[in-house]
Amino acid sequence: MSQIASKPKTYPFTIRFTAEQKALLKSKASDLPLGEYMRRSLLNEPIEAIDLPKDQVKLVASWVLGGIGQSRYAEHLGSIAQSAQQGLVILSPEESAVVIQACADISAIRHKLMRVLGHRKAANDY
């Protein structure tokens, strides 16, 4: 039997940041996952962005876009928003704002993924 080389065991470490501190870290991390950026920074390891081949980026983008479509989140959120507008569901102003923001976020994510895949405009933009 051949032994497969295993990665060393890792241990989680929890740390709290303010929203401003987290936003600053995210901007510094650029394309790196935030945890990876922080680990490399703390351990003085080289910080370079992940360089994926274009085909792999498109594959990931299409996979994520397909997941969004299959989840039907946008459709369900749209139904909630429409029901609220018709008075069938009563939402507080805060809840309404969250639903509206979630719809906008999903739309923005979808639009960005479509751009990554080479589409100048997302389907709903026509």
* Residues 84-101 pLDDT 10s: 888 898 989 899 888 888
pLDDT exceeds 90 at position 5: no
Shared domain for 15 and 45, answered yes or no, is yes
CA–CA separation, 34 vs 11, rounded Å? 16
Structural domain containing residue 36: 9-51
pLDDT exceeds 50 at position 1: no
Does residue 2 fall inside a structural domain? no
CA–CA separation, 36 vs 105, rounded Å? 25
Rounded to two decimals, what is the model's pTM? 0.50
Does residue 33 fall inside a structural domain? yes
Number of domains present in the structure of the chain: 2
DSSP percent split of the chain into helix, strand, coil, nearest 5: 60, 0, 40
